[in-house]
Structure 1
Amino acid sequence: MNQIRLEKAYNFRDIGGYETNEGLVVKKGLLFRSDELSKLSEADIETIRKLNIKTIIDYRSERERVNNEDKPIPGAKVIYLDPKADVAALASSDNKHLLEQRTDKITAKQAYDMMSSQNREFVLAPSAKASYAQMLQLVLDPANCGIVQHCRGGKDRTGYGIALILLLLGVDQKTVVEDYMLTNVCKHEKNTRSLAEAYEQTHNEDFVLALRYLKEAREEFLLGALDIINNSYGGIEQYAINELNFSRENIQTLKQIYLEEKI
């Protein structure tokens, strides 16, 4: 895991280093993923600046960004892409917001079903398709590298976006899912603390389980999206070509930019 340790963000990672089915390797230092960058310390900002980040893709909605904008990173531009993922936004909220929204009334089954549906909507919803199509065009331009994409928790919206890139580069699905699941490792301490606080506040075990479904990555959530791509669209390349306005030439260019020989 290529985690970049920061003081005020927990899920900042370089997604380079993964091997593809052609025996090549994703280059390091070009593509990153993260949770929100709105609470960074000065030391965090300097750490990110040294990574030579030129483009920040922020999937958060305008409402999520109110009084919570990313801290400026010298030399980096911010691009806002909103997949209209209200469930993902809710899932990454803090406990105070969740309780204010009376989310403690949501059962664990409802939370599980909501997250499953949200991941399927990344594949199917026009707003999500438009956002991820734009993301791929940004990634296709070498002048935009290094690129970090993030949402609030760096799990769902970001996880799906990173999965699209890695799959198009030829990284196998098992590895892509493993990368998605690393969010639980990066945010283990934070999530454990959050779940404990939720139980202390509510003494509602079903709500805590619901919160776990909202806050933690689960293989079946991402796999639900990937199953639709594979079974309904004929695989990642066909999906990207037919639904995200990405051509075969674009896929080859993507590989030329981000892949290198294995050392």
Structure 2
Amino acid sequence: MKNKRHLPVEGAFNIRDLGGYETRSGDLIPWRRFLRSDSLHRIAPQDVIRLHEEGLRAVIDLRTSAEVADAPNPFAAFPDVHYVNLPLFDDLSPQALSDAAQEGEHPLFTFYMTALETRGDAICTILTEMAQIDDGTVLFNCTAGKDRTGIIAALLLGIAGVDRKAIIADYALTAEFIPDLVAEFLNISRARGGDTESYARMLESPAETLAATMDAIRHRYGTFRTYLEAIGLPENVRLTLRARLRGQAPAAQKTK
């Protein structure tokens, strides 16, 4: 399953399919409906074409505008793929969030809760954009395909009705694919005189951190659905995404 889930593409480390997970109703998420990914700026032109030929029709880039400027997404200029940059965060750095973490907490818990509780508008915009893609594969990415991408992936799997354990396992799977990328990030930080020990913690993907995040959301809101209602996601967007994730062809819905 893991080999099928991971798409080996030279220049990218962490392109993974959300297909194959079973929902509580017994449906299986179809393959190549949604891909989660790290940055694509280093993939070769032939792989850009290959991904399009294999069904990629939309790319939603969750990085900041500065990150996109530093490492442009090759699909931004590809004529037959809808590309949009929708940052989950505009200016909050992982280091600042790490500094804000409470003693005893993993700093990523602060990061994820900050995203879920203060970036509701951005999350709604991202999910609404996904719901308006009529056909083909939707890929969403950040830099490592771990945190911002991980939050959106968990919400999508939650909308589909995937079991909690599988959602957490999907998140933790990142650790298998990005050790070379982590080493690169740490080498860059070390060369710049950064606090590599703190930074290394932000590059982890511990299952217990997403578990704690999901527990906190459940405690405060109840369910994925009530959380999404609380941040203002239109019901037709949730239903369109759920249909797509459950193997039904969603009708094109334009949402306000």
Q: Output the TM-score relative to the length of structure 1.
A: 0.80
Identity over the aligned pairs, expressed in percent?
A: 23
Contact 2:107 2:201 in 1 (8 A): no
2:57 is aligned to 54
Please name the residue that 1:98 is paired with. Answer: none
Residue 97 of structure 1 corresponds to none
Say yes or no: does 1:120 pair with 2:113. Answer: yes
- CA gap 1:255/1:200 in 2 versus in 1, 3 angstroms: closer
Structure 2 residue corresponding to 1:41, chosen from 44, 49, 72: 44
Which region of structure 1 is more displaced relative to structure 2, 81-90 or 176-185? 81-90
Give the corresponding residue for 1:136.
127
Q: Structure 1: how far apart are the matches of 2:46 and 2:171? A: 27
Q: Does structure 2 retain, via aligned residues, the 8 Å contact 1:230–1:236?
A: yes
> What TM-score, normalized by structure 2, do the two folds share?
0.82
Say whether residues 1:217 and 2:205 are aligned partners. Answer: yes
Q: Secondary structure at the match of 2:238?
A: helix
> Counterparts of 1:135 and 1:148 in 2: how far apart (Å)?
12
* Superposition map of 1:242-261 within 5 A: 242-247=230-235, 249-260=236-247
Where does 1:1-263 land on structure 2 (aligned, <5 Å)?
A: 1=2, 2-72=5-75, 73-84=78-89, 86=91, 113-125=106-118, 128-143=119-134, 145-192=136-183, 195=186, 197=187, 207-247=195-235, 249-260=236-247
Say if 1:84 and 1:190 are closer, same or farther in 2 by CA, change over 3 A: closer
Aligned length: 241
Aligned mates of 1:152, 1:200 — CA distance in 2: 19
Q: Contact 1:139–1:145 (CA<8 Å) still a contact in 2?
A: no
Q: What is the CA–CA distance in structure 2 between the aligned matches of 1:88 and 1:199, rounded to whole Å?
A: 14
Give the 3-state SS of the residue equivalent to 1:54 in structure 2: strand
Query: Is the partner of 1:120 in helix, strand or coil?
Result: helix
Structure 1 residues 251 and 139: CA distance shift in structure 2, 3 A: same
SS at match of 1:36: coil
Q: Conserved in 2, the CA contact under 8 Å of 1:169 and 1:251?
A: no
Q: Distance in 2 between matches of 1:228 and 1:143?
A: 33
* Native 8 Å contact 1:9 1:40 kept in 2: yes
Give secondary structure in 2 for the equivalent of 1:57. strand
Q: Secondary structure at the match of 2:74?
A: coil
220 and 62 in structure 1: CA distance in 2 versus 1, 3 angstrom threshold: same
The alpha-carbon deviation at position 90 of structure 1 amounts to 5.9
2: distance between equivalents of 1:111 and 1:78? 40
Deviation at 1:4, TM superposition (A): 0.7
Residue identity opposite 1:120 in structure 2: M
- TM-align CA RMSD: 3.1
Structure 2 unpaired stretches of 5+:
249-256
Provide closer, same or farther for how the CA distance between residues 41 and 173 of structure 1 changes in structure 2, counting only shifts above 3 A: same
Q: Deviations over 1:3-46 (max 9, x none)?
A: 11011010011110000111111011110010011111123213
Q: Which has the higher contact order (CA 8 A, sep 6+)?
A: 1
Aligned equivalents of 2:173 and 2:62: distance in 1? 19
Which amino acid in structure 2 is aligned with residue 8 of structure 1? Answer: G
